[in-house]
Structure 1
């Protein structure tokens, strides 16, 4: 995406030299860039297409099934978007993928949904860790946390059961408007003035 002529850009070589005028130019460029974030996130999600990793469905299909299950279960749009993007980190950080989805959505979702995203990898382990010689009850370290049951329910109803090659998942296009609405404006960010 072009940023116009050099005159439309900040001129500092170090942030310590920056001016309010520089930051006004940067902020003006940030508006369309930030508005396009949902499209960049969805483009990255598409990288999961065709990546089976040994599973019966590819990772994009798993994500679509998870979101479809949540949608058909009557969950709100924010939760559905979390279900759609919960494994988006698989391509960048397969051993800490939950952290990626949680980081992407943190500014846009509730504390409960953020915590669910961040911890779902451990909670999902209840269904398979014992097959790998790991403690399937690893999630018990969080027992008593306000979002424990919420996260356990997500894994049980909308994650561990989303690997069915015959399930009629909604297409990615059906979720695009939801992603755009959820990510339209951050609820919190270090770049937002305190209210």
Structure 2
């Protein structure tokens, strides 16, 4: 394989860096495929829940899909826990960092903070503050995180739920990660889209 000429970055010339930019952009087009592969690894992770973390992810993505959510929300729901194996104590920030260049700010904010919002369901059992999420009440995305956790995250540990297969989501993930990263119209700072769209949901259910 062709490589740059230098062994120290300070020695690189313009041709080296143009070549690197082209090579790295080409490599980045496969991020979606690598994330889907990482998601399947969650099926082998030890879990005391009644479903694997992989199945939990499929359930969350499926619930978003049947709710009529747009592509950003569906992919956010599917991949929100993709960091569980590698960042168990900050998996939310890990996932958000991966998604941030490609998704609407609303969605990545919710992914980045869903771990804290999930504490509503269990923190009081350990003497903790289940309302710690209220520190973010001033965020325009606060209610979105509440709904995300209620409808898609905390509800997706059901062994009897019929999830859509991973291949159903593959084209959506590929579409997201084919976007030019950090485009203003994609990041759409301050823009809110509903998590559920009854009209789209009805169309999907046929």
Of stretches 31-40 and 85-94 in structure 1, the one that deviates more from structure 2 is 31-40
1:98-113 alignment, distance < 5 Å:
98-113=92-107
Does 2:12 align with 1:18? yes
Q: How far apart, CA to CA, are the structure 1 residues paired with 2:181 and 2:64?
A: 22
State whether residues 60 and 152 of structure 2, in contact with CA within 8 Å, keep that contact through their aligned partners in structure 1.
yes
1:79-98 alignment, distance < 5 Å:
79-98=73-92
Equivalence for 2:171: 177
- Pick from 149, 152, 155 the counterpart of residue 158 of structure 1: 152
Equivalence for 2:65: 71
Q: Under a length normalisation based on structure 2, what TM-score does the superposition of the two structures give? A: 0.85
Q: How far apart, CA to CA, are the structure 1 residues paired with 2:44 and 2:6?
A: 44
Equivalence for 1:126: 120
Equivalence for 1:140: 134
Of stretches 178-187 and 145-154 in structure 1, the one that deviates more from structure 2 is 178-187
Equivalence for 1:50: 44
What number of residue pairs does the alignment pair up? Answer: 183
Q: How far apart, CA to CA, are the structure 2 residues paired with 1:56 and 1:36?
A: 32
> Per-residue displacement from partner, 1:11-38 (whole Å, max 9, x unpaired)?
1121111111001221232233111111
Unaligned runs of 5+ in 2: 184-206
Report the CA distance between 1:186 and its aligned residue: 3.4
Q: How far apart, CA to CA, are the structure 1 residues paired with 2:177 and 2:37?
A: 14
> Per-residue displacement from partner, 1:56-111 (whole Å, max 9, x unpaired)?
10000000000000000000011100000000110001111101110110000111
**Deviating runs (4+, > 2 A) in structure 1?**
none
Q: How far apart, CA to CA, are the structure 1 residues paired with 2:171 and 2:126?
A: 39
Equivalence for 2:162: 168
Q: How far apart, CA to CA, are the structure 1 residues paired with 2:81 and 2:68?
A: 21
Report the CA distance between 1:52 and its aligned residue: 4.6
